[in-house]
Amino acid sequence: MEFVQAFIVSFREGLEAFLIVAILLQFLNKSGNKKLKVHVWQGAGVGVFASLIFGGILMALSSAIGGTDNTAKLWESGASLIAVLLIVTFIIWMVKHGSRIKRHVETQAELNMTKTGIFLIAMIMVLREGAEIAIFAFAGKYTLLPIITGIALSVGAVYLIFKSIVKVKLSTIFNVTLAYLILQAGFLAGYSLHEGLSASKGLGILESEHPVYTKAFDLSKTVLNHKEGTLGIPLYVAVGWYSKPEWVQFVLQYSLTIFLFAYWYKDREGQLQKSKQLS
């Protein structure tokens, strides 16, 4: 199940990064600034390299703090919380600009039509996605294989799309993957709280009888067990299902999920109304 999660996340972030690079290159071709294309590649290369360094630091940090179970849980809780904040910020940005991402990138390029400007746009865009993959990998304890697989397939998808070999609506890809990111944001928020509570119990910060540990329900002995159940495992992969959550975890996870979907829906409705007014 971790493979599927890591694969989808890395594919989504890789697709975003390489689409931006492809859009920049295409824009420079059309605007007669082909000489600046080398700076796109340089910026993308630096972004990838910096992402690898950041990921390496997080991996080293993960190994260093994995000594005790409770300490590891505290770090996982903190890393997941950071990932949630980053994902939510990214989701809000995508809701606002995702449907107009091509124009957004081209506008940035028009305003920064210099060697340094083009270099920085490519570097920052790629680094942002790379950093998100690194934090996801750290928070979710993902291995390299699904991450590399997802990134490699995203490169192939971008190549096929821009060579017009494959006809696909980018908006469909973005909508499906954005919905999955929203589900993952809710799951990571709940996971962060769960691990923090577990560590607090182990370290004696909170008594095990504290009301905060009250379970919303316990379906761990049924097919809905999120680790072993025939229905629980696919639900865990697809929507971040947890078979025995504390009430606070359950409320946090699904409140955030519902809020983000509602925010997305409200923004889409607003854009549709604006389109009708302009037409």
Q: How many CA atoms lie less than 13 Å away from 195 in the CB half-sphere?
A: 21
In this predicted structure, what is the pLDDT of residue 276?
72
DSSP annotation string for 217-244: ---TTSTT-TTT-TTHHHHHHHH---SS
Quick one: 30 exposed, middle or buried, by C-beta within 10 A (0-12, 13-18, 19+)?
exposed
In this predicted structure, what is the pLDDT of residue 129?
78
Digitized pLDDT (tens) for each residue of the chain, 279 residues in all: 567 767 777 887 787 778 778 877 877 777 777 888 888 889 889 988 988 888 888 777 766 665 557 777 777 788 778 878 877 887 887 787 665 666 666 676 666 677 888 888 788 878 877 877 777 676 656 677 888 888 888 888 877 877 764 455 666 767 777 887 888 889 889 988 988 898 888 888 888 889 999 999 999 899 999 878 888 877 887 778 889 999 999 999 999 999 999 999 998 888 777 767 766
What count of residues does the chain have? 279
CA distance 205 to 71: 13
Q: How many CA atoms lie less than 13 Å away from 8 in the CB half-sphere?
A: 19
CA distance 21 to 108: 13
CA distance 107 to 118: 12
CA distance 240 to 68: 26
Phi and psi at 214, nearest 5°, equal: -65, 130
CA distance 56 to 50: 10
Phi and psi at 231, nearest 5°, equal: -95, -30
